[in-house]
Amino acid sequence: MIKSELQIDEEIEITHLKVEGHADLERETASHGIINTNYAAYHKAVKRAHEAQNSRDEIRNATREINSIKSELHSIKSMLLELTKR
């Protein structure tokens, strides 16, 4: 079923209306959802989100490495204390 506008099986027409005061926003009439039509801003936001996730992953990995080193240092300290008791 191809027509000039998208349609759902129940014959509800989906149209987009401009949101007053926002040049890049449209409201979908069927779901009342807001759609941002500024694709450049969208891709920029997605890129920022990926970079933020990568940064969090790097911090998480560094924290794990630090905790591993701390654990190894604790083991070494315990061994040295045991050796000094002899």
> Based on the domain organization, do 44 and 85 belong to the same domain?
yes
How does DSSP assign 9-65, residue by residue?
A: TT-PBP-EEEETTEEEEEEETTT--EEE--HHHHHHHHHHHHHHHHHHHHHHHHHHH
> Based on the domain organization, do 22 and 10 belong to the same domain?
yes
Residues 38-62: tens digit of each pLDDT: 999 999 999 999 999 999 999 999 9
Given a cut of 50, the residues of the chain with pLDDT beneath it are 1-4
Strand partners, 28: 16
If one counts the domains in the chain, the total is 2
CA 26 to chain centre: 23
> Based on the domain organization, do 54 and 69 belong to the same domain?
yes
> Based on the domain organization, do 46 and 83 belong to the same domain?
yes
Provide the domain limits for residue 23: 1-37
The residue whose two tokens read 């998480």 is: 60
* Amino acid, single-letter form, for residue 9: D
